[in-house]
Chain A
């Protein structure tokens, strides 16, 4: 059973471009969470999704950020018109149920030039 797969591992974008981060949860997991780790800061919750539904997006910036978890395929975190302050490590986690242990991916390191 493969773990949580995130790609790409590293993503470089210029200011104003779009960034798409992908996350494939563990097999059998229907709950996906995105967290962001800014330089010198702790991990912060962004969004919680269950197949085709956004359950909690209270940690997501109101503009430029969106997330989806379609019926088929990976979860996507999309950042439009990236700015330097978006540079961070973005981690995805999945769980089989709402209150069960989380399993994290290796993260995507986004660098905005």
Chain B
């Protein structure tokens, strides 16, 4: 059974600092991995999707890496801003069908 873990559960940094969020999964046979952002009382916004054959994806200040063999993904957010404060969720798909297994999330606070 796939288990997804995100450490730390919460993170507080001053504005401008780079953020590093970790995600690990127990079954390396994944189809793809997605990073989402969730704001309080709102839905999820997809940030990056990495296919199992890829090693990283980039979008603006965001970069996500994937190491399937070690069961890890890392989300980097450069030059953090207060608007980056949210919960970040990592999710993996084992096979075609979009049945996501989510981690517990990392709650990020960027202080001005």
A interface residues with partner B (beta carbon < 8 Å): 4, 6, 31, 33, 35, 41-45, 48, 55-56, 58-59, 91, 93, 95, 98-107, 109
| Nearest 6 pairs of A and B residues by beta carbon | A104-B44, A104-B43, A106-B43, A43-B102, A42-B102, A42-B104
Q: Is B101 a contact of A107 with CB atoms below 8 Å? A: no
Among B12-20, B61-69, B92-100, the stretch in contact with A: B92-100
- Number of B residues contacting the other chain (C-beta, 8 Å)? 24
Cβ of B71 under 8 Å from chain A: no
- The dominant DSSP class at the A interface is strand
B interface residues with partner A (beta carbon < 8 Å): 31-32, 34, 36, 41-46, 49, 89, 91, 93, 96-105
Q: How far does the Cβ of A11 sit from chain B's closest Cβ, in whole Å?
A: 14
Please list 8 pairs of residues, one from A and one from B, whose beta carbons are closer than 8 Å in the complex, sorted by A's number.
Answer: A42-B104, A45-B100, A58-B99, A99-B31, A99-B96, A102-B34, A103-B46, A104-B43
Residues of chain B contacted by A102 (CB below 8 angstroms)? 34, 46, 98, 100
Q: Is A101 a contact of B49 with CB atoms below 8 Å? A: yes
